[in-house]
Structure 1
Amino acid sequence: MKKNLLMGGLLPALVLGSCGVAGAQPAAMDTLTAIEQNPETVNQAKAANEPVTQESLQEMRRQLEEQLQQAQELQNRLNAQLGSLEKRMKKVEKRSWEPQVDIHGYGRLRWDKHNFSDFNGTDRKSVWLNLFVNHRINDRWSLHSEHEFENDLSSNTGAYKEHGKSRPVLQLYAQGRVGDVNVKLGRFYLQSPYKFTYDEKVNGWQVNYGIPTKWGRKAEFTLSSGVSTSQTFHGDTENTKNVWDQYYENTQMLSLMGVIPVAKNTNISAHYGRMTMRDIHLERKTWSMGFDTKLNRDLKLTAGIAKSDSETLNKSHFIQLQYKEARPDVPGSYDFYIKKYLQRGHTGMSNWFNDDIVDVTRGDDTPQLDEKSNGLNRWDYRAGEFNGIRIGLDYVPVRNTKLLLHYTYGKLGIFDPDNHGGNHDGEKKDYSFLRTQLEMYF
């Protein structure tokens, strides 16, 4: 009787009690089936009148351990299947929340005012709309494009009509991963650390690799190559094609940059770049190094130096101190900064000057300058360097907007009008630049 109770009630109860997790019911049913299909167990159950011995108890214990092991194996297999199903469900949820095509962008209302010591200032009011379209191909690859539309509100014309062209498609590239390496192919925007030496589009390729550090941020290394536009050969004595040409669109560029965290709130950045005029094989190399660090919670210091292998105008530097940070997703946030810098034209890989600084021969408002020249020839006022200060303020009045205001003042170093390239003649001309801009993100 005791043996019948043990085999018919205690054994299944023990099995069911030991499997009270996911997969318990299938395991218990398989255990009962195994008992019923085991002739030896059934014969022992029928032999109710036989005395319970030590041997029979050991045999029952062995059979129970085997059945428990089978139940555990069934449970493990079921848990693995549930884990795989959960991963697939997460992928489905991710795809459902991340649409195949994503469109976002921003608009800008801008007012610029440049003043030169020998020329009346020019006002330029313009409106811009930039649309970004992202198309997800799969979990690794996607297509990206940027489309820009602009209008000069002062003359109701396209902002680039002076150059005889427009720029409706700024970027169009494929982005993906090959192993642990991020890859770009097509026309993409490249910016050197702090926009110090390069700020232009590239038709080519890019690879990026990140190495984790103990500071919680990756050390990023980026190699890029392709065809780009450069102004760095302007006023270069080795430019045998045309020493005063300002824009070269047929230049081959190579760029290697790295941003390395060296402390909790400090990064060191370095950049090597090479621009080559492909038709005459004139080559320029530029090196830059800088750092940014948080002095405290709200105060950030950034600085950098640059040098090229040009014989003239080949060194630049800057230092900037910023308080707070304006974030478009945080209404009421703001920042204030002051920047001191010396920029010389032959250190930049792409732009003659950064930060939208211009001389009287550059920019979209040169026709207006000709009208206000008072008989002066603006080509006699080519500038090879800028030395000055910028004071700026950014403010977020409401979410997804930013109000930008900055004022720049300094001296433009002027080329010798009779010098066919090379250094400037030592003359310094006053220059100031005021920008007011409202950005709206969507």
Structure 2
Amino acid sequence: MNKKRMICGLVPALAISMSSTVGAQPVVMDTKPAMEQNAVTENQTGADAQQPVTQESLQVMRKQLEEQLHQAQELQSRLNAQLESLDKRMKKVEKRSWQPPVEIHGYGRLRWDKHHYEDRNDPNDYKTIWLNLFTKYRINDRWSLHSEHEFENNLTDNHGAYEGHGGYNEPGGKKYSRPVLQLYAEGRVGEVNVKAGRYYLQSPYKFTFDDKIDGWQASYGIPTKWGRKANFTLSAGNTYSKIFYGDKENELNYWNEGGDGNLKVVSLIGEIPIAKNTNLATHYGKIKRRTDRLERKTWSFGFDTKLNRDLKFWAAMAKSDSQTLNKSHVLQLQYKEARPDIPGSYDIYIKKYLQRGHSGMTNWFNDDIAEFTHGDYKAENLANNDGDKVWQYSRWGEFNGLRVGVDFVPVRNTKLLINYTFGKMGKCLDRDPGRRYAYSFFRTQWEMYF
């Protein structure tokens, strides 16, 4: 008798166990005898195992199940509330990730330059300090407002930012001032990156254009199999610069160091990956002065490639439609790379370049050789009719030489730059190249980033 009861009690228990194992719905016991036997089996303890299942005991079981269901529903509600709270906190964290909406960073430079010209008895010695501040204000997740502010002081003669030795008319007067170098809005329109305002336009390798313009820019990238995008950038706007200073074709006050600005600028830049470690860079530029329609066109083409993990090579050439000698080139070989975020990193490089003033539209390699873009213009030379002295180092001159440099990162967010440049500089007319003079240029610079 006991054996039969045990069998009757195990059958529904096995059914329930198997259904829960395979993830199916619990077996529903339709027959009252099976429920009674199951209840007896689950509740039997000694003598109580002989007690029959009553309606009251079934109601107690049902009540217990309802309580368990209610507890499960409460647990589900609390879990949903916790998930909702977590989602809110995540959104707050994501919002704080780009807060505050204003970012400020920049860098400072301490520089010592020493120049020596063959036909001068006294070498030029300059000590200057710079501070560049960059700001970024996030308007929303697609648009932002940017600015750059530059402050300079010549420690040699204690003149301020872009301040000349006497200015145009009054002693100590400023020639021109650019405390706000950039101020533009940047964002996306569909898949196109857009800039509008005053921004810095730099051609590849700083070869044919390197100045600020007031206008707009649109850039579009096309994915390539090399994992880098081929970028095409169209820029248009206005600039005020020294582009036509000392230009033979400039018949409108060509010795005005202000450059007789108000120039219309159009630029198209292409940067195209053609291999895993190789990129092509091209540029077409055109400027036109609005007052007399004097025009200049420039083209450049170059590439950079990694020869191995630590060795990189650049080569580029440029040409303009100037009537003077108008071709330039640059070759550079660099070992390693000095990165401000990696203390102890460094690089060593050698660069050979032929630089002619009219190959570029403005400030071509201006940071490499001081006084070259501006020329050696002095009012007393004109007063003494020393025209040859003026033209000798003017913008239609050239420099042909080498530079050897070392960059080193002693501590994080700093960089020490040391380079030495030497070669020949002088005027270069098509029919009368004239004499080239030996020229050397030494620079030591300490940069700090924040």
Distance in 1 separating the partners of 2:115 and 2:139: 45
- The structure 2 residue matched to 1:180, chosen from 159, 170, 191, is 191
Per-residue deviation, 1:143: 0.8
Find the partner of 1:125 among 124, 127, 135.
127
Whole-angstrom distance in 2 between the partners of 1:370 and 1:338: 38
- Note the C-alpha offset of 1:104: 0.8
Read off the aligned partner of 2:203 and give its amino acid letter.
S
The letter of the residue matching 2:277 is N
Are the structure 2 counterparts of residues 423 and 438 from structure 1 closer, same or farther at C-alpha, using a change threshold of 3 Å? farther
Select 1:328's aligned residue among 340, 359, 371: 340
Describe the shift of the 1:297–1:150 C-alpha distance in structure 2 as closer, same or farther (beyond 3 A): same
Asked if residue 227 in structure 1 is aligned to residue 235 in structure 2, the reply is no
The corresponding residue for 2:69 is none
Residues in 2 aligned to 1:167 and 1:243: alpha-carbon distance in whole angstroms: 22
Closer, same or farther in 2 for the Cα pair 1:232/1:149, shift >3 Å? closer
Most deviating of 96-105 and 332-341 = 96-105
Query: 2:421 aligns to what?
Result: 408
Structure 2 match to 1:349: 361
Supply the AA of the counterpart residue of 2:207.
F
Please, which moves more after superposition, 115-124 or 378-387?
378-387
Tell me what 2:218 maps to: 207
1:132-156, CA deviations, whole angstroms, 9 ceiling, x for partnerless residues? 1111111101111111111111122
Cα 1:199–1:216 shift into 2, 3 Å: same
Distance in 2 (alpha carbons) for counterparts of 1:345 and 1:429:
16
Q: Does 1:106 align with 2:107?
A: yes
* 1:317-350 deviation digits (Å, cap 9, x = unpaired): 1111111110001111111111111111111022
What is the CA RMSD across the aligned residues, in angstroms? 3.6
Alignment partner of 1:303 is 2:315? yes
Distance 1:85 1:138 in 2: 25
Q: What residue in structure 1 maps to residue 403 of structure 2?
A: 390
Q: 1:170 aligns with which of 156, 176, 181?
A: 181
Tell me which residue corresponds to 2:137: 135
Question: Given the superposition, is the C-alpha separation of residues 230 and 361 from structure 1 closer, same or farther in structure 2, using an over 3 Å criterion?
Answer: closer
| Matching residue of 2:435 | 427
Q: Which amino acid aligns with 2:104?
A: I
Output the CA distance in 2 between the equivalents of 1:200 and 1:329: 27
Q: In the superposition, relative to structure 1, how do residues 231 and 83 fare at CA in structure 2: closer, same or farther (>3 Å)?
A: farther
Partner AA of 1:158 in structure 2: G
TM-aligned CA deviation for residue 92 of structure 1 = 3.9
Q: Deviations over 1:216-273 (max 9, x none)?
A: 1111111111112444434444323234445243111111111111111111111111
- Look up the match of 1:148: 150
Equivalent of 1:314, from 326, 341, 344? Answer: 326
Report the AA paired with residue 344 of structure 2. Answer: G
Deviations 1:61-95 (A, max 9, x none): xxxxxxxxxxxxxxxxxxxxx99999886654333
Q: Given residue 111 of structure 2, which amino acid in structure 1 is its aligned partner? A: R
Number of residues paired by the alignment?
Answer: 384
What CA distance in whole angstroms lies between the structure 2 residues aligned with 1:407 and 1:84? 63
Structure 1: distance between partners of 2:323 and 2:83: 65
Give the counterpart letter for 1:102 in structure 2.
E
In 2, are the aligned partners of 1:313 and 1:423 still within 8 Å (CA)?
no
Aligned AA for 1:409? Answer: F
* 3-state SS, counterpart of residue 249 of structure 1: coil
Matched residues in 2 for 1:85 and 1:423: separation?
A: 81
1:362 Cα deviation (Å)?
A: 2.5
**CA deviation digits over 1:14-36, x for unaligned, max 9?**
79x46xxxxxxxxxxxx99xxxx
Which position in structure 1 is the counterpart of 2:447? 439
Tell me the distance in 1 between the aligned counterparts of 2:83 and 2:236: 43
Higher Rg: 2
> Counterpart amino acid of 2:427?
I
Q: 2: distance between equivalents of 1:301 and 1:129?
A: 31
Counterpart-to-counterpart distance in 2, 1:269 and 1:88: 47
> What residue identity is the alignment partner of 2:222?
I
Cα offset, 1:297, TM superposition: 1.0
- Give the 3-state SS of the residue equivalent to 1:379 in structure 2: helix
What is the aligned partner in structure 2 of residue 288 from structure 1? 300
- CA 1:97/1:427 → structure 2, altered by over 3 Å: closer, same or farther? same
> Which residue does 1:270 correspond to in 2?
282
Question: Could you tell me how far 1:375 is from its partner in structure 2?
Answer: 11
Contact 2:209 2:364 in 1 (8 A): no
Seen in structure 2, the aligned counterparts of structure 1 residues 298 and 220 have a Cα distance that, compared at 3 Å, is same
Q: TM-score, normalised by structure 1?
A: 0.76
Q: Which amino acid aligns with 1:115?
A: H
For the residues of structure 2 that align with 1:91 and 1:194, how far apart are their CA atoms? 42
- CA distance in 2: counterparts of 1:398 and 1:126, whole angstroms: 22
Which consecutive unaligned segments of at least 5 residues does structure 2 have? 1-7, 35-81, 165-173
* Structure with more contact order per residue of length (Cα contacts < 8 Å, sep ≥ 6): 1
Deviations 1:31-55 (A, max 9, x none): 99xxxxxxxx9xx9666589xxxxx
Map 1:85-100 → 2, pairs under 5 A? 92-99=92-99, 100=101
SS state of the match for residue 161, structure 1? coil
Q: Unaligned stretches of 5+ in structure 1?
A: 19-30, 33-40, 51-81, 417-421
Runs in 1 of length 4+ with deviation above 6 angstroms? Answer: 82-89, 374-377
- The secondary structure found in structure 2 opposite 1:346 is helix
